[in-house]
Structure 1
């Protein structure tokens, strides 16, 4: 009996959001995906890096059989670890798995004239609410972003602040952050207050109306109470404005035409930056990405911080690239998983990884957060790795290839 083949679309797009335990935030990604589909007349699906479903891998598995070309676009304001590591790893893995599909990987939202225009509209709304006008009153603006451990990402906040200032009659526009790095929002507001402006407009540089956005709004309200001589208010987040759809459409076109630009010259994973020397290098960057969960607090309460995980005690990455695969990496990975399933004391998450740069010494098994790499691992070694290292936290010294 002949099996009818599904009809193929020439193109499809996958919009990748961060993911949240708050369904409202996940719905925003789906809304933008639907708007982008209408704008481009191309099928657009949504996926999430973590905390929500479908995952990037599952979404690609659904889309790949239905199209010839798949463009993956990260729905992220800045290019930090997720954009530089997590999503590219998933795309590269998919390229190897679906060799009959052409994959394009696009840039994040980044700095775009439409976003500057959207932020200015948000500011004007608050000016109207406060009864001030930048042309006649001293209006200061504080742009507040999430904050990142990536200096490249934080630098874009400063650049965006300057672009908001140029050509507009604001007294000043200051960058700030709600966490991770400085200057913090509260400190920036107190500094701005010393100039005694007529009004201060706080702009949350956030996509959605989540916990951090509300924290920014609450901080602005507290500031307004503390400084009665300054009128202060906060705008809403970027939301699902049509101008974001326009930026996403531009990013899709760039990806398809091969004109994507990334800031490699200031990327801490590409070049050695002072204070970030330990982050340089492809293998380290990839493994840091794979063990992202383990770097967050082990708690399920997200009211104080939405970017937390119930992290496993260990994260194991097994290289399954060509030479390691030829040496039996797939069997090693399956044996590790089986021994872990049989254990009552093993709290671990396993991941496949692409090349770790140790060709000829594989299969390589990397255990984090311990930063231990085992080399030339055979299926017979897997029980020892699980029972000794993963259960009892005792390194199997004779298998150690290197530590980072």
Structure 2
């Protein structure tokens, strides 16, 4: 599946490119080491340098990792180690790539796709199910075996829909009684509900497959759920399988995603993406600019990461987040001075609870410098350093929009 030589479309010398494998990041070093182990194995498979980077909670971050590679190669392909395309893949990684392109003009940065649905992953799940069946002493060809494929769950319907598709593909052509999609959180059906529904059909066995990369807290919850179900329903044998881990078949998928990105053939599910089209119940999520600002806020508001042990997503968020476009056009119009002036005004204010950060292009070239205030969704255009005191004293301190500066509202 994966090729270890450049495709015909590539003009980059094979020794002049690198791959950045991007994991989510965790306080559990075991999880971070899994990403690093996969990066090392992928490097051996592809024959090109492969570094590991992280979205949050671990080092290096994507910008730092790309900066480290920029001086040694002319092309970097970013490949997310993500199972499905939710907000990290659709917002956070593209934002980091866009920033890298503006900060390293001589470096080509390709943005790859998530793992997604791939034949190698279906084969891997089939083997995970077979291992549990062996432990339970059942045979899918002779016994009624139901598989529950349990994923993390997302607020993105596109990602959740792919779980259902993956379950169907695992079911097709195999002798399972059925394969049910389920989730451990965020969306429905939740694992407990699915298991109790399955029990009513009185199968011989239930195989619960955690569709997770790492063996962490959520995987343990899935195991606990399967064990509780096994105790509550003695007439059904139940067991949970292992997560995907560092199975070599992941390298097949990652290799394909690398080739797609470096040859310009990445395909994303834009027809069902809540940031691209209006889906019932998700109307407020439509809009690339809005999604970009949400990504900015998510990146900037994770705080106290070394000191919080219980929840990896504890936020110490300011009331306001201010993004200043410092891309080429806005920079030429004085955006750096605007940003520093805003930061000083925020520091001088006794009432303001805001964080000011730089942003890559906000898509309003020629109308800048652009300043976006979130979560209010107010964008100011043509801002001068002299305007920043008004933005802070009126908008950030007292929630009074500076109307004469407004470019647009989301």
The two structures have a TM-score, normalised by structure 2, of 0.90
CA distance in 2, matches of 1:302, 1:177: 24
With over 3 angstroms needed to count, the CA separation of the structure-2 counterparts of 1:233 and 1:307, relative to structure 1, is farther
Kindly state the Cα deviation for residue 191 of structure 1 after the two structures are TM-superposed.
0.7
With over 3 angstroms needed to count, the CA separation of the structure-2 counterparts of 1:73 and 1:274, relative to structure 1, is same
Alignment of 1:240-319 (within 5 A): 240-292=246-298, 301=308, 303=310, 305-319=311-325
The secondary structure found in structure 1 opposite 2:281 is coil
The secondary structure found in structure 2 opposite 1:67 is coil
With over 3 angstroms needed to count, the CA separation of the structure-2 counterparts of 1:256 and 1:62, relative to structure 1, is same
2:22 maps to 1:16: yes
2:134 maps to 1:123: no
Contact 2:391 2:402 in 1 (8 A): no
State which of 132, 139, 146 in structure 1 corresponds to 2:145.
139
With over 3 angstroms needed to count, the CA separation of the structure-2 counterparts of 1:93 and 1:295, relative to structure 1, is closer
Q: Corresponding residue for 1:350?
A: 356
Q: Indicate the larger mover: 105-114 or 258-267.
A: 258-267
Alignment of 1:312-351 (within 5 A): 312-342=318-348, 346-351=352-357
CA distance in 1, matches of 2:245, 2:316: 28
The secondary structure found in structure 2 opposite 1:66 is coil
Equivalent residues, number: 395
With over 3 angstroms needed to count, the CA separation of the structure-2 counterparts of 1:359 and 1:191, relative to structure 1, is same
Measured against aligned partners, the alpha-carbon deviations of 1:146-182 in whole angstroms (never above 9, x if no partner) come to: 1111111111100000011011111110101111111
Kindly state the Cα deviation for residue 218 of structure 1 after the two structures are TM-superposed.
1.2
Q: Corresponding residue for 2:7?
A: none
Kindly state the Cα deviation for residue 91 of structure 1 after the two structures are TM-superposed.
1.2
With over 3 angstroms needed to count, the CA separation of the structure-2 counterparts of 1:351 and 1:394, relative to structure 1, is same
State which of 371, 392, 400 in structure 2 corresponds to 1:395.
400
Kindly state the Cα deviation for residue 380 of structure 1 after the two structures are TM-superposed.
2.1
Kindly state the Cα deviation for residue 386 of structure 1 after the two structures are TM-superposed.
3.5
With over 3 angstroms needed to count, the CA separation of the structure-2 counterparts of 1:296 and 1:134, relative to structure 1, is farther
CA distance in 2, matches of 1:201, 1:22: 27
CA distance in 1, matches of 2:62, 2:303: 23
> Whose relative contact order is higher, 1 or 2, with alpha carbons under 8 Å and at least 6 apart?
2
State which of 95, 98, 109 in structure 2 corresponds to 1:103.
109
The secondary structure found in structure 2 opposite 1:291 is helix
2:161 maps to 1:152: no
CA distance in 2, matches of 1:58, 1:298: 20
CA distance in 2, matches of 1:403, 1:367: 10
Kindly state the Cα deviation for residue 293 of structure 1 after the two structures are TM-superposed.
5.4
State which of 33, 58, 78 in structure 2 corresponds to 1:72.
78
RMSD, matched Cα: 2.3
Q: Corresponding residue for 1:5?
A: none
CA distance in 1, matches of 2:291, 2:400: 23
Q: Corresponding residue for 2:47?
A: 41
Kindly state the Cα deviation for residue 264 of structure 1 after the two structures are TM-superposed.
1.4
Contact 1:294 1:369 in 2 (8 A): no
CA distance in 2, matches of 1:180, 1:202: 18
CA distance in 1, matches of 2:362, 2:283: 18
Alignment of 1:185-204 (within 5 A): 185-204=191-210
The secondary structure found in structure 2 opposite 1:134 is coil
Kindly state the Cα deviation for residue 291 of structure 1 after the two structures are TM-superposed.
1.4
Q: Indicate the larger mover: 318-327 or 37-46.
A: 318-327
Unaligned 5+ segments in structure 1 are 1-7
With over 3 angstroms needed to count, the CA separation of the structure-2 counterparts of 1:226 and 1:58, relative to structure 1, is same
The secondary structure found in structure 2 opposite 1:244 is helix
Kindly state the Cα deviation for residue 381 of structure 1 after the two structures are TM-superposed.
2.6
Contact 1:293 1:312 in 2 (8 A): no
CA distance in 1, matches of 2:85, 2:348: 40
CA distance in 1, matches of 2:303, 2:76: 35
Q: Corresponding residue for 1:184?
A: 190
State which of 210, 219, 235 in structure 2 corresponds to 1:213.
219
CA distance in 2, matches of 1:295, 1:174: 36
Kindly state the Cα deviation for residue 297 of structure 1 after the two structures are TM-superposed.
11
Kindly state the Cα deviation for residue 96 of structure 1 after the two structures are TM-superposed.
2.3
CA distance in 2, matches of 1:325, 1:202: 54
2:385 maps to 1:379: yes
The two structures have a TM-score, normalised by structure 1, of 0.91
Contact 2:276 2:288 in 1 (8 A): yes
State which of 348, 357, 376 in structure 2 corresponds to 1:370.
376
